[in-house]
Amino acid sequence: MTMYQAGQRVLVKQLHHQHSIDKKQTFLGRVVVVVSSREYKSGTRYFLRLAASPKRTIFLNEQYLEALDDQVLHRNDAHYFDVDSANDINAFEPELRVIHSISMHRGKVEAIEIYDGADLKVCEWRYLDDEGELIHQSEGQYGNTMAALRDGLVTVIGLPSEFTMCEIERVRDKITVHFR
């Protein structure tokens, strides 16, 4: 048996006959990410999350998993990863670090740094709702964190109107005069 590591992407090749129909429809033949593992006398049991939908999780024994190889992907995974074969998917989930977060009246905008293992770090922005569900994420890669955050805020709340900008400048001038 192969030991899988946290962050590794694997394929669910089969499920136990007692798993629910919902679990079978959701996880069978899908790419999952190993969150954690635990050793038992009978083997290793993994806590997994669906790669395309991180809120869907499952516990599975090692015998139900296989490493990514030349398998044909489920249509949802093919769309999510934008590839046809499991060969084209990176075997490990890229590391993600939140650099800055701005709470809004609904959700929050975050600037994130993504490290994909090849000494390549890029910045992107993402918009999450109040429950932490991803609403939108940038497709472009930024070299500057604040540029990513600026574009995220502009995308979510829009550009300020000319009236709003004049009001902001007026208040800023009042504060400047007050503290002189």
Given CA atoms 27, 32, 35, 37 in this order, what sign does their dihedral have? positive
For residue 106, which of 133, 84, 128, 124 has the smallest C-alpha distance? Answer: 128
The full set of domain ranges for the chain reads 9-88, 95-157
Residue type, position 99, single letter:
I
User: Is 119 within 8 Å of 135 (Cβ atoms)?
Assistant: no
How many Cα atoms sit within 13 Å of 89 on the Cβ side?
31
pLDDT band at 64 (very low <50, low <70, confident <90, very high): very high
Q: What is the pLDDT of residues 28-50, one digit of tens each?
A: 999 998 888 888 888 888 989 89
- What number of residues does the chain have? 180
Q: Is the pLDDT of residue 119 over 60?
A: no
Q: Which residue did the predictor score with more confidence, 62 or 126?
A: 62
Q: What is the pLDDT of residues 138-159, one digit of tens each?
A: 766 777 777 888 888 888 877 7
What pLDDT does residue 13 have? 92
User: Is 28 within 8 Å of 12 (Cβ atoms)?
Assistant: yes
The residues with which 45 forms a beta bridge, in sequence order, are 38, 61
The number of angstroms, rounded, from the C-alpha of 6 to the middle of its chain's C-alpha atoms is: 15
Average pLDDT taken over every residue of the chain: 80
For residue 125, which of 107, 106, 143, 145 has the smallest C-alpha distance? Answer: 145
Task: Determine the average pLDDT of the residues in 59-77.
Answer: 89
- Report d(CA 75, CA 48) in Å as an integer: 20
What pLDDT does residue 30 have? 92
Question: What is the value of pTM for the model shown?
Answer: 0.56
Percentage of residues in the chain having pLDDT higher than 90: 11
